[in-house]
Amino acid sequence: MSYSDVEAELRRHPAVQECVVARIPTGPRTHMLVAYVVIIGQASPADIRAFLSTPRLRSNRVPRAVIPVDSLPCTRFGEVDREGLPLPVQPGMMAGGKGALADLDDMPLGGLMLVLAGVVALVAFLTTDVFWPGSTDLSVVPQTWFRRLFTGLYVAEFLSFGLGISFLLFGRRRLTRLGRPSWLTTLAHLSIVWLLAAWWPQDNFYRLAAKTDWARQAALVYGFNITLMIAAAVLVVFAVRERPAG
């Protein structure tokens, strides 16, 4: 596919000496438009992308990211070697404006995550009475609609646990694209997993704990409630932490 119109508009920018626009893969079935530019002067990649985001081009023709390079690779015939263009190592850190590469919607893998979440939720449902006998017994609940409310709660816990396990296996790659430090990405990944997965064991332990068993109640509070608060705080830090300059 030709992007000569996009390249022509890029060359109109006074700071763009050379450029080439290419479509690069971001997933099994997803691609993204990227502009490689040799910049002169003080213009930033974000400035150049903003220049293209005016009515000059249709929105789907505006590159999602602008990557500065010292020079464009050429073949021995003097043409741009598109195969020699550098592939982004950390897409989440490439310049190009708000949301330039926050592609967290890889549909094939997203579907797999949902399927796995459903399977794990079913396993949780089938094993609850094995791990916590009697914790889901609703025979003492006086009214039918109350029982339905509690049943809905149990289903939500199963699904949340399944989604947490699924995100544990497949979620880190998506968080990595956001360009945060590796240690913070790991903490955020585990925090999301815990915020989702903890409810199934937590509520079952609570339902079987006596109200006056203070030692057990304290252990549950510090084992679940406090750690869930910490996980939420980690995500706040992850959300407000600025990307490192790249």
**What CA–CA distance (Å, rounded) separates 195 from 199?**
8
- Judged on CB neighbours under 10 Å (0-12, 13-18, 19+), 147 is middle
Residue 99 lies inside a defined structural domain of this protein: no
Q: Global pTM? A: 0.58
The tokens describing 81, both together, are 């070697």
Residue 27 lies inside a defined structural domain of this protein: yes
Residue 102 lies inside a defined structural domain of this protein: no
Residue 235 lies inside a defined structural domain of this protein: yes
Task: Give the residue-averaged pLDDT of 98-123.
Answer: 69
97 pLDDT above the threshold of 60: no
Structural domain span for residue 183: 107-240
106-115 pLDDT, tens digit each? 446 678 889 9
Asked whether residue 184 falls in the same domain as residue 147, the answer is: yes
Average pLDDT over all residues of the chain = 84
102 pLDDT above the threshold of 50: no
Residue 35 lies inside a defined structural domain of this protein: yes
**What CA–CA distance (Å, rounded) separates 31 from 49?**
18
Instruction: Write the CB contacts of 109 (distance below 8 Å, at least 6 apart in sequence).
Output: 27, 28, 170
Work out the number of other CB atoms within 10 angstroms of the CB of residue 105. 10
Where is pLDDT greater, at 53 or 240? Answer: 240
146 pLDDT above the threshold of 70: yes
Report the CATH number that the domain containing residue 26 is assigned in CATH.
3.30.300.30
Residue 201 lies inside a defined structural domain of this protein: yes
**How far, in Å, are 128, 150, 193, 216 from residue 221 at the CA level?**
21, 21, 18, 9
Residue 19 lies inside a defined structural domain of this protein: yes
Asked whether residue 168 falls in the same domain as residue 203, the answer is: yes
**What CA–CA distance (Å, rounded) separates 19 from 12?**
11
pLDDT of residue 96: 44
